[in-house]
Amino acid sequence: MAFKLHTEARDWFKKISGSEPLNTLFDLYHICLTLGLASKRFESEGDSMDEFMDDFTIRYRPFQSLMIGGMIAAVLARKGISVSDRCSVAQEIGRMVSGDTTRGDLTADGFRELNGYALGGFNYLRENFDAPPQHAVWFLSRYSQLLSETGAPPKI
Amino acid sequence: MIIELIGWKSKGLRAPDIEVKLERSDSSVACVTLIQMPNGTGKTTTLNCLRAAMDGSAESWDAEKVKSFGNTDTPPEFGSFIATLRINHSKRIVIEMTFHFVEGVVTYRTTAGSKIEDNYCPPPEVRRYLDPRFSELLFFDGELANDLISGEKETNAGHVIDTFYGLYHLADLKRKALDSFQDHVRQAGPAKGAAQSARLIGRIDRFRSKLAELEEQTATSVEQKKRLEEESRRIDSAIETHLLQSTQFQEAEQIARDRKELAKTRVEKAFHEIDKIFPNPLILHPFLTKSLGELADNLDKLKLPEFTSRAFFDELINEPDCVCDRPMNEAARAAVKRKADLILGDSINGFLNSLKRTVRTCTDYSGNTEFAKAVQELVSADDDLSQSQSALDDIRAQAAAAGDEEISRQRRKLEEIKGRLEIIDAFLEEATRPTRTGDDEQCKCVDFFKKRVKAMDVELARLSGTLDRKHRTDCLISVIDDAYNRSHLVLKGEVISRANEQLAQILKYNPVEIEDIGRCVKLRNRGGASMGQNLSVGYVFLAGLLHGGGNQFPLVVDSPVGALDDIARRNLGQLLPKLVKQMVAFVIPSERQWFADPLAESSGGDVLFLTHLRINEHTKDIIQRLGGRAACTSESGIVLEGKEPFFALGEDVNE
């Protein structure tokens, strides 16, 4: 149970990572996850993922519940679970959230869902860039544009 | 371990027949011995023989090489070279080399105390220090000290440390382990597919060789890149300084530079502002606010989390009676369990409460454009930076067009460096990337070759039924690698620390500090030191190794100051006696100036001046004029001792 990134992610972000705001692997994960949630793009983990952490970093702990909440909203919408179906909603939340604060509040399924959106976000980036980004300014500009183009997230 | 060179004697070789004694009447040796040998006196022959006498390498010389040491005018049947060493101020070791010119071989005889061996056989306690890999540190030309800093030639400063401390034995051990495994595989015979195994072994060797080559190339490229980038910064700074001194472009350069600095600061600030807001998903993705708000509302409507704790139901199942006092039979327990399963655990409830609290207390970010604006500001600042750089480039181009040769020259250098950097970057990008589908033997990806070698090793082990042996060999190699890495790191740290202590004292008016030792010795915060400083650092590094930890070895240097200017020669002359306990330097007359006097002064007079000349029609009169005491004379050569003949010899004798 851990956060995972695509095996090619480190190499893809090579030229623009290692400095603000993409200092750490978790920053890369966050950028991919946010785009994955925004574009409603979920992909199942395959063999092409590398584990890198099993908990949220200190920088992201204040926003941990928001990121997981965003995932819950996306999963409920993706599975077409009705908001009035208390049983299904509770079951789905119980499947993904453990409340174990030493493990990011997530179950193994929860990590799989979150990683799936991060993977979707990374592939979305690759599809919308001709080549791995060479320049951080240009990347952030294009990323900002992609976020605004993807529109509103799923309604639950 | 203290090893001193006491002297040598040559006979029947290309060099004149002479004996050089470095030991004085009180058994001491001079701190520095300067041997002046004009070209053609046999300097190269003497140096090569000295080295071969110490490390025994002449046993492996081929016939042609052996014969080349003979006197070509009157080729004798035999020649000899005898070197005398003293160990720990007491024990003498005499190593005699006999050249058999007809057969084309060299034989040795070693005398250590009362023990005589008819071969090259130094005592065990000194053998390590006379190994050929070690002796290359003791015998060198002045260029080595510079190469250690510049890293431009083959000399590898990191390997110098390995050689001195004998870490190469670990590499030998590793090689033996691998060879042993390969032999075992060959002897084991294939469990199946002999031809397949043979092909695989050949392929593994090829891939391993390519991997080693690529790793070496990568390390060299990384260091070259650092040097070129430092050089580029230095040239940039030089151009700026030059332009600021020019009345025509001074103002424009200053304005453009100030603008660039402001733009740089603006870009840094913009990145920092983005970094501050970046982790907050509500700012990055403002639509999330609405989505989370709706989630929180719906959780309330669904009464999630429950007000009732799941623990209550879990405990109730185990009670004999329900809260309504009815007995808890199996049916009742099953019903309670069914309901309990629908209730979330306490920790999940805790998370949901936390989520709802966070959402409710978060500022409404819907419609927030903070991230987009921060990115726009970054783009604008970056554009400004690009424009200010272009303005600077324009000024330089104008200066070059206006005939400023210095600017033109520096710009050409910068372009050349840029071109080289592009080539290096392209290579490094290819070499350091992870392997990908489509990679083959023609690629330059280190990761590809590493993984293929590993996979092929396993395949070979499987084919030959030697998987277990392979595993054990891998373990051993891993231990050796770890031992090497740790040792090298610790020893390198000690060498750097010792050298910097000395440098702080010796170069206190123009301080230089060693930052790291890789392929070359890296200086801290120095784009490039002068050649004199480079040589000083190089000698401090070498001397620190050879005279550190209570050890002492003779340094034998050919042309210690060859290409240096007067100031650098003087500085080196003052420096060397502080570093060495025994140095024997071979010089030609033109190398005396600016060097020999400061050297003598700095050593407190502890310098032995020798002048060695070949006796022929041309030199007879010169020798008579020089005077001085003849320390040794023969039909073919003479060695004069003393400062007077040393300085009296004209530079024209070198022609």
User: Quick one: which of B539, B500, B534, B535 has its CA closest to B516?
Assistant: B500
Q: How far, CA to CA in Å, does B128 sit from each of B35, B124, B399, B544, B546?
A: 28, 8, 60, 19, 14
Which chain B residues are closer than 8 Å to A70 by Cβ?
Answer: 281, 285, 288, 291-292
Whether A31 shows a pLDDT value over 50: the answer reads yes
Which residues, at least 6 apart from B219, have a Cβ–Cβ distance to it below 8 Å? B518, B519
The token pair at B335 is: 């019903």
Q: How far, CA to CA in Å, does B511 sit from each of B136, B241, B579?
A: 29, 23, 17
pLDDT, tens only, B426-475: 999 899 988 887 899 999 999 999 999 999 988 888 877 777 888 888 89
Shortest CA gap A92–chain B (Å): 10
Most confident of B203-212, B281-290, B630-639: B203-212
Are A81 and A88 in contact, with CB atoms under 8 Å apart?
Answer: yes
Are B368 and B286 in contact, with CB atoms under 8 Å apart?
Answer: yes
Band of the pLDDT at B35, cuts 50, 70, 90?
A: very high
Domain presence at residue A96:
yes
Q: Is B420 helix (H, G, I), strand (E, B) or coil?
A: helix
- Which of the residue ranges B224-238, B331-345, B524-538 would you say has the lowest mean pLDDT? B524-538
Shortest CA gap A77–chain B (Å): 11
Shortest CA gap B418–chain A (Å): 17
> Using alpha carbons only, what angle is made at residue B235 by residues B233 and B238, rounded to the nearest 5 degrees?
110
Alpha-helical segments (H) within B434-466:
446-464
Which chain B residues are closer than 8 Å to A110 by Cβ?
Answer: none
Q: Would you state the pLDDT for residue B196?
A: 79
Shortest CA gap A57–chain B (Å): 11
Band of the pLDDT at B549, cuts 50, 70, 90?
A: low
- Give the mean model confidence (pLDDT) for residues A110-129: 94
CA dist A27 and B275 (Å) reads 10
- Which of the residue ranges A82-96, B235-249, B342-356 would you say has the lowest mean pLDDT? B342-356
Contact yes or no for A93 and B344 at CB 8 A: yes
In whole numbers, what is the pLDDT of chain A averaged over residues? 87
- Which of the residue ranges A112-121, B337-346, B370-379, B587-596 would you say has the lowest mean pLDDT? B337-346
Tokens 């920053």 -> residue: A27
Domain presence at residue A132:
yes
Band of the pLDDT at A156, cuts 50, 70, 90?
A: very low
- Please indicate whether residue B293 or residue B420 has the higher confidence score (pLDDT): B420
CA dist B70 and B100 (Å) reads 9
Residue to substitute from A93, A98, A134, interface B, most B β-carbons within 10 A: A93
Q: Would you state the pLDDT for residue B525?
A: 66
Are B46 and B556 in contact, with CB atoms under 8 Å apart?
Answer: no
User: Three-state SS string across chain A, please?
Assistant: CCEEEECCHHHHCCCCCCECCECCHHHHHHHHHHHHHHCCCCCCCCCCEEEEECCCCCCCHHHHHHHHHHHHHHHHHHCCCCCCCHHHHHHHHHHHECCCHHHCCECHHHHHHHHHHHHHHHHHHHHHCCCCCCCHHHHHHHHHHHHHHHCCCCCC
User: Quick one: which of B563, B559, B543, B541 has its CA closest to B551?
Assistant: B543
CA dist B432 and B571 (Å) reads 43
Contact yes or no for B294 and A69 at CB 8 A: no
Q: Would you state the pLDDT for residue B655?
A: 46
Q: DSSP string covering B546-613, please?
A: HTSTT-B--EEEESTTTT--HHHHHHHHHHHHHH-S-EEEEE-GGG-TTTHHHHHHHTTT-EEEEEEE
How many other CB atoms are there within 10 angstroms of residue B590's CB atom?
A: 10
Torsions phi, psi for B612 (to 5 deg): -115, 125
CA dist B131 and B1 (Å) reads 14
Whether B154 shows a pLDDT value over 60: the answer reads no
Band of the pLDDT at B8, cuts 50, 70, 90?
A: very high
Contact yes or no for A94 and B345 at CB 8 A: yes
Band of the pLDDT at B212, cuts 50, 70, 90?
A: very high
Which residues, at least 6 apart from B101, have a Cβ–Cβ distance to it below 8 Å? B66, B67, B70, B75, B76, B77, B78, B79
Whether B531 shows a pLDDT value over 70: the answer reads no
The token pair at B31 is: 């701190």
Whether B207 shows a pLDDT value over 50: the answer reads yes
Q: Would you state the pLDDT for residue B450?
A: 94
Q: How far, CA to CA in Å, does B364 sit from each of B278, B294, B356, B358?
A: 17, 13, 14, 11
Domain presence at residue A108:
yes
Share of chain A above pLDDT 70, in %: 94
Which chain A residues are closer than 8 Å to B275 by Cβ?
Answer: 20-21, 23
Tell if the pTM clears 0.95, that is, is over it.
no
- The number of C-alpha atoms within 13 Å of B104 and in the hemisphere containing its C-beta is 8
CA dist B518 and B529 (Å) reads 17
User: Quick one: which of B128, B51, B60, B294 has its CA closest to A152?
Assistant: B294
The token pair at A127 is: 């599809």
Q: How far, CA to CA in Å, does B260 sit from each of B45, B94, B383, B393?
A: 60, 69, 11, 11
Whether A8 shows a pLDDT value over 50: the answer reads yes
- Please indicate whether residue B146 or residue A24 has the higher confidence score (pLDDT): A24
Band of the pLDDT at A21, cuts 50, 70, 90?
A: very high
Residue to substitute from B292, B338, B351, B439, interface A, most A β-carbons within 10 A: B351
Are B152 and B220 in contact, with CB atoms under 8 Å apart?
Answer: no
Whether B563 shows a pLDDT value over 80: the answer reads no
Share of chain B above pLDDT 70, in %: 90
> Using alpha carbons only, what angle is made at residue B389 by residues B383 and B391, rounded to the nearest 5 degrees?
105
Q: How far, CA to CA in Å, does B376 sit from each of A73, A137, B383?
A: 30, 9, 11
- Count Cβ atoms within 10 A of the Cβ of residue B325 and give its class: 0-12 exposed, 13-18 middle, 19 or more buried: exposed
CA dist B532 and B569 (Å) reads 7
Shortest CA gap B433–chain A (Å): 7
Domain presence at residue A56:
yes
Strand order in the sheet with B3-11: B18-21, B3-11, B78-87, B91-100, B105-112, B115-117
Contact yes or no for B295 and A69 at CB 8 A: yes
pLDDT, tens only, A123-151: 999 999 988 998 999 999 999 999 888 86
Domain presence at residue A156:
no
Domain presence at residue A76:
yes
User: Quick one: which of B302, B298, B330 has its CA closest to B317?
Assistant: B330
Q: Would you state the pLDDT for residue B173?
A: 92
Number of domains, chain A:
1
Q: DSSP string covering B68-105, please?
A: HTB-SSS--SEEEEEEEEEETTTEEEEEEEEEETTTTE
Tokens 């015979």 -> residue: B189
> Using alpha carbons only, what angle is made at residue B547 by residues B541 and B550, rounded to the nearest 5 degrees?
140
Which residues, at least 6 apart from A123, have a Cβ–Cβ distance to it below 8 Å? A6, A41, A43
- Please indicate whether residue B33 or residue B306 has the higher confidence score (pLDDT): B33
User: Quick one: which of B42, B50, B35 has its CA closest to B72?
Assistant: B42
pLDDT, tens only, B44-57: 889 889 989 988 98
Whether A152 shows a pLDDT value over 60: the answer reads no
- Please indicate whether residue A86 or residue B427 has the higher confidence score (pLDDT): B427
What are the beta bridge partners of residue B92? B86
Angle between helices B405-432 and B446-464 (to 10 degrees): 30
Q: Would you state the pLDDT for residue B596?
A: 85
> Does residue B598 have a cis bond before it (omega within 30 degrees)?
no
Whether B306 shows a pLDDT value over 70: the answer reads no
The token pair at B571 is: 């500085």
CA dist B107 and B56 (Å) reads 10
* Whole-complex ipTM: 0.91
Contact yes or no for B278 and A37 at CB 8 A: no
Which chain B residues are closer than 8 Å to A91 by Cβ?
Answer: 342
Contact yes or no for B279 and A59 at CB 8 A: yes
Which chain B residues are closer than 8 Å to A88 by Cβ?
Answer: none
Query: B32-36 and B583-587: which strand pairing?
Result: parallel
Most confident of B143-157, B191-205, B606-620: B606-620
Band of the pLDDT at B423, cuts 50, 70, 90?
A: very high
Q: Closest-CA residue in chain A for B272?
A: A20
Q: How far, CA to CA in Å, does B160 sit from each of B152, B492, B624?
A: 15, 10, 45
Whether B526 shows a pLDDT value over 70: the answer reads no
Contact yes or no for A153 and B301 at CB 8 A: no
CA dist B69 and B100 (Å) reads 10
Contact yes or no for B281 and A67 at CB 8 A: yes
Domain presence at residue A31:
yes
Q: How far, CA to CA in Å, does A115 sit from each of A5, A140, B448, B598?
A: 7, 22, 27, 71
Range of the domain at A130: 3-150
Shortest CA gap A41–chain B (Å): 15
Q: What region does B450 belong to: left with phi over 0, alpha with psi -120 to 50, or beta?
A: alpha
Which chain A residues are closer than 8 Å to B295 by Cβ?
Answer: 69, 72-73, 156
Whether B519 shows a pLDDT value over 90: the answer reads no
Q: Would you state the pLDDT for residue B266?
A: 94
Which residues, at least 6 apart from B577, have a Cβ–Cβ distance to it below 8 Å? B31, B32, B599, B602, B603, B604, B606, B607
- Give the mean model confidence (pLDDT) for residues A85-113: 83
Sign (positive/negative) of CA torsion A29, A33, A39, A40?
positive
First to last CA, chain A: 27
Domain presence at residue A155:
no
Contact yes or no for A63 and B279 at CB 8 A: yes
CA dihedral B503, B506, B512, B515 (to 10 degrees): 0
Q: How far, CA to CA in Å, does B476 sit from each of B173, B449, B480, B650?
A: 10, 21, 6, 62
Contact yes or no for A66 and B292 at CB 8 A: yes
Are B34 and B596 in contact, with CB atoms under 8 Å apart?
Answer: yes
Tokens 């002046």 -> residue: B36
Whether B416 shows a pLDDT value over 60: the answer reads yes
Q: What region does A78 belong to: left with phi over 0, alpha with psi -120 to 50, or beta?
A: alpha
Contact yes or no for A66 and B359 at CB 8 A: yes
User: Three-state SS string across B158-193, please?
Assistant: HHHHHHHCCCHHHHHHHHHHHHHHHHHHHHHCCCCC
The DSSP secondary-structure symbol of B526 reads -
Q: Would you state the pLDDT for residue B369?
A: 82
Nearest CB neighbour to B350, from listed A21, A99, A151:
A99
Extract the runs of DSSP E, i.e. beta strands, from B318-411. none
Whether B528 shows a pLDDT value over 70: the answer reads no
Q: Closest-CA residue in chain B for A154?
A: B291
Q: DSSP string covering B207-239, please?
A: HHHHHHHHHHHHHHHHHHHHHHHHHHHHHHHHH
